[in-house]
Amino acid sequence: MYTELRQELYKLSHRKLPWLIIIFMVALMVIIGLAMGRTYSNLLVMTCYDSSMVIMLLLVIVGSTIFSMEFQNETIIPLIYRSRGRGSVFFAKFVTLFLYDVILHIIAIMVTFLLNIVPIINNPVSWTAIYKYHQPLVINMLATTGVDLVTSSLIISLICLSSCLINSNTVVIAINALIIFMGSGLSSNLLLANVGPSRIIRWNPFNMLNLTTQYYNYATYHITSMLSNSQLLLGTICYVIIFTLLAYWCFQRKHF
């Protein structure tokens, strides 16, 4: 898989879109900081200026080009013929998207540090100040980033699955964007509607999208999700594995 992974990383690094999107992400982080004001300085730092949803949306856009565009343009066929097998191609694309996810989070952390050093839109904060979970703020930020990597991995697995089922790049972007924006609300409505036993319904995959937001705002989101942080983390990891395996199964049996 090393050769396939190197090819995918080369293609990603030589596209303009992934780099232009990073500029868009930084701009949105600044806008969010301006919108929330100086009252929420610690929270903005802990959440890297609420970059979680922005990163997930960017992953949908870039991820659709890695998978769906290749299906749509049929460039996947020569790629498979030149590789050792479909499995190598699939997991090379999955790992590439995950590595891009890590890069986006690292850049978000760097921008957060920069905005704290140059307090144009935010008050300077003490990185050692005790904040959530009786931990220093810098630990809160790193922990939130780690948690969000798990949450965004769920989106990556959904991108892979939907791309293997649907060849249209536009449709894949639309479906996953709707999941990001409406998934949490849909889960909440299911739980409030009492359509089934809440002990089972609360484990639906849409509820796992609450993982990051509940971590930094437990009091509010725990009431909605009806799961603890550790339960959400466990559920998210399980769904990542399930959706990734389903995507791999679909990819292996897809006709080109």
Domain boundary assignment for the chain? 2-253
Instruction: Say whether pLDDT at 23 is over 80.
Output: yes
> What was the pLDDT predicted at 34?
84
Query: Are the beta carbons of 131 and 199 closer than 8 angstroms?
Result: no
* Average pLDDT for the chain: 88
Measuring CA to CA, which residue among 202, 156, 161 is closest to residue 180? 156
pLDDT in tens, 210-222: 999 999 999 888 8
Q: Which tokens go with 224?
A: 């909605």
Q: How many CA atoms lie less than 13 Å away from 23 in the CB half-sphere?
A: 4
Instruction: Say whether pLDDT at 254 is over 80.
Output: no
Length of the chain: 256
